[in-house]
Amino acid sequence: MTAPWWRDAVVYQVYPRSFADANGDGMGDLKGITSRLDHLEKLGVDAIWLSPFFTSPQNDGGYDVADYCDVDPRFGTLADFDEMLARAKERNIRVIIDLVPNHSSSAHPLFQKALAAAPGSPEREMYMFREGKGENGELPPNNWQSIFHGDAWTRVKEADGSDGQWYLHLFDTSQPDWNWENPKVREMFRGILRFWLDRGVAGMRIDVAHGMVKEEGLPDTEVNTKGLVALDSDKLPPYFDQDGVHEIYRDWRKIINEYPGDRVLVAECCAPRHRMPLYIRPDELHQAFNFSFLLARWDKTLLHDAIEKPMALSREVEGSNTWVLSNHDVIRHATRYGYAPDYKFGEGLSRDEPAPDRELGLRRARAVSLTMLSLPGSAYLYQGEELGLEEVADIPDELREDPAHKRGGVPGRDGCRVPMAWQHDAPAYGFSETGKSWLPQPASYGERAADKQVDVPGSTFEMYRAAIRLRRELKLGEQELTWIESGDEALAFRLGETAVVLNLSEQPLDLATLGLGGMRELLVSYPDEHAAGMLPANCAAWLTPAG
Ligand code: NOJ
C-alpha cells in the first residue's frame, strides 16, 4: 500500500486577500487565485491550503466567519470556488480549506439570535454566555484574557436595555466562542465538514485546534497566553488543550473516513510538545503543525532540537512530521533571520525597530528553507516565501487591520500579509490591475517580484522549485533521518543516499571534515562561486555520492 499523499506533501498556504486581485478592488479574490495557478504548478506544490474566504466582516482577516458555507462577496462566489478547485485539480493541485470551529463572527445569524434571546434560552446555549461576578454582575465571569489583549469577556445589553450577561471571546470581541458542550454545535459542524468535503476539498486545516473545549466551571487561569504560539509550557490555561477536544476529532475522523481519496485534517495546535502526539492518534487528526522549527533561531542546538524532538514524538504514534517556517501569523523568516539570534521579537515588527540585515536574512532563510524541504514529512510554505518576501514594518498604524494591533497596540501581523509581488514594473507589482492594494507594498517587493525570479537561475524561486522537484524524485519526504556528527556550527544528516548540510558559521565549511568530501553537490541554497567540496558560509547543500 502506498502512503497517503499528505505524509510527504508540499502544501502552499494562500492568504486569499493578499494573493491576487482579479477585480481590481485592492483585495485578493478566488478568481485571482485561479489566474495564478500556473505559478504554483511551476513551483511544484502538491496542495494549496486556503485561509478563510467565507462570508465574514473581516475583523480578523476572515477568521471571523458569519456563514461557513458561503463565499464572502469580496472573494467571489461558490461558483468561483468550484472553478478554482477544478482548475487546480487539472494541475494535480489539491485544495485544503480552513475550518474555524472555536468561534464565529458576531455577525453570524446564530449569535445575533443569541443576543436577541433571553439568558438561559437555547439560542444563548450555542455560545458561552455567563452571568458576571460582583454585586450586579458588573465583573467578568473569570480572569481570562483575550489572545488579542484585553478581557476575553464582553457584557451585552439585554432586550430591555439593562446590562446583562457576558460572552466569551478568546480572540476579538467580534469572535464569540461556540459552546462545544452543546450537541447542536457539534451537529452543525458535522454538516459544515460534509458541505466542503462533498464539494471536493482535500481536507481542512483546523484553526485553534487546541481550543473549543473549556475546563468545566471555567476556573480562573494562572497562565497568560499572549500571542498565538505557545510551546513547552507545562501549565496550561483552562481553555486550551483540554482532553475533551479529542472526542470531537474522533467524531470528525469518522466523517472524513467516509470520503474517498485520502482527505486530510491538519491541526493548528499550540499544546505542550509532549501532548502534540495525542492530536494525531490513528483515530483523530492526520497531522498537526509543528511550530518548533518556526520558532528556532539561527543556532545549531535549537535547530537540531526543533527537528529531532518532534520527529521522536510523532514516531510514538506513527504520525507524520510537518515543517513550517512562515505563515500569516508570524514575522516572515527572510526577515527573522536578518536579526541576531538573540534579538527579542515582539508581536509583529514595528517601524521603530532596527532594520534587519536584508542580505543575511535572505541567505539564512534560503539555507533553512532548503534544509526544511529535505526533511521527512510534509512542508507547509507560506505565499511569497518562495520569492524571499520580507516582513513589512513600515505600515502606517491607521492602515493596520490586525485586531491584536487595535486591541493591544502591538504592531501585529499585517506585516506578513502584504499583497504578493508578481511583476516588478506593474501597478501594485501585478497584484491588481488598478494598482490598488489593501496594504501598501514596499519597493523591496519589486526587487523580489515573481517575474524577476521565475526561470532565473540562482533565484530564490528556482531554489524552491528545484528542491521540490528533487525532493520528490529522491523521495526525501519518506526517508529515515540519521544525524552526522558535525560540531557546533553545522547541522548535518543523511536521508538514504542523500546528505544534507547546513553551515551555520561565517566561514566556508570543508565538507571533508564531516566525512562528506567525496560527495557531489545536488543543490546549494545560495549561488555563490565556491570551491568543490566547500560549503559557503550561511548556506545549506544537498549532496549525493559522486560517480
Ligand atoms: C489562528 C489563525 O491562524 C489566526 O490568524 C487567527 O487570528 C486566530 N487563529 C483566530 O482565529
Count of C-beta atoms within a 10 Å radius of residue 145: 18
376 and 512 together in one domain:
no
447 and 514 together in one domain:
no
Catalytic residue among 207, 390, 402, 414: 207
User: Does residue 53 belong to any structural domain of this protein?
Assistant: yes
Q: What is the dihedral of CA 535, 538, 539, 540, to 10 degrees?
A: 100
Which residue has its alpha carbon closest to ligand 1 atom 10? Answer: 63
For ligand 1, the distance from its centroid to the CA atom of residue 541, given in whole angstroms, is 34
138 and 52 together in one domain:
no
User: Does residue 245 belong to any structural domain of this protein?
Assistant: no
Q: Provide the pLDDT confidence category of residue 234 given band limits of 50, 70 and 90.
A: low
355 and 501 together in one domain:
no
Give the pLDDT score at 252: 98
Q: How many distinct structural domains can be found in the chain?
A: 3
As a whole number, the mean pLDDT across the chain is: 95
**CATH (domain of 138):** 3.90.400.10
User: Does residue 198 belong to any structural domain of this protein?
Assistant: no
Work out the average pLDDT over 102-118: 98
**CATH (domain of 369):** 3.20.20.80
User: Does residue 162 belong to any structural domain of this protein?
Assistant: yes
Work out the average pLDDT over 410-424: 98
14 and 118 together in one domain:
no
Give the pLDDT score at 314: 83
Q: How far apart are CA 106 and CA 112, in angstroms?
A: 7
Tell whether the model's pLDDT for residue 44 goes beyond 70. Answer: yes
Bridge partner residues of 534 (DSSP): 510
Tell whether the model's pLDDT for residue 228 goes beyond 60. Answer: no
Q: Provide the pLDDT confidence category of residue 227 given band limits of 50, 70 and 90.
A: low
Give the pLDDT score at 3: 87
For ligand 1, the distance from its centroid to the CA atom of residue 61, given in whole angstroms, is 9
396 and 537 together in one domain:
no
323 and 346 together in one domain:
yes
For ligand 1, the distance from its centroid to the CA atom of residue 233, given in whole angstroms, is 20
359 and 499 together in one domain:
no
Look at 237 and 388; give whichever has higher pLDDT: 388
The set of protein residues with a Cβ atom below 6 angstroms from ligand 1 is: 60, 63, 100, 171, 207-208, 228, 268, 328-329
Report the candidate in 459, 417, 416 with the shortest Cα–Cα distance to residue 43. Answer: 459
Work out the average pLDDT over 500-512: 97
pLDDT in tens, 148-181: 999 999 999 999 999 999 999 999 999 999 999 9
In the residue annotation, 268 being an active-site residue is answered as yes
Query: Which residues make Cβ contacts (< 8 Å) with residue 255, sequence separation at least 6?
Result: 190, 193, 194, 197
Work out the average pLDDT over 122-131: 98
120 and 63 together in one domain:
no
User: Does residue 434 belong to any structural domain of this protein?
Assistant: yes
Which residue has its alpha carbon closest to ligand 1 atom 3? Answer: 329
Which H helix or E strand runs over 97? strand 94-99
The minimum-distance atom of ligand 1 relative to the CA of 102 is: 11
Which residue has its alpha carbon closest to ligand 1 atom 11? Answer: 63
Give the pLDDT score at 40: 98
Give the pLDDT score at 274: 84
In the residue annotation, 207 being an active-site residue is answered as yes
For ligand 1, the distance from its centroid to the CA atom of residue 471, given in whole angstroms, is 30
| Domain hosting residue 524, numbered range | 481-544
**CATH (domain of 515):** 2.60.40.1180
Secondary structure (3-state) at 50: strand
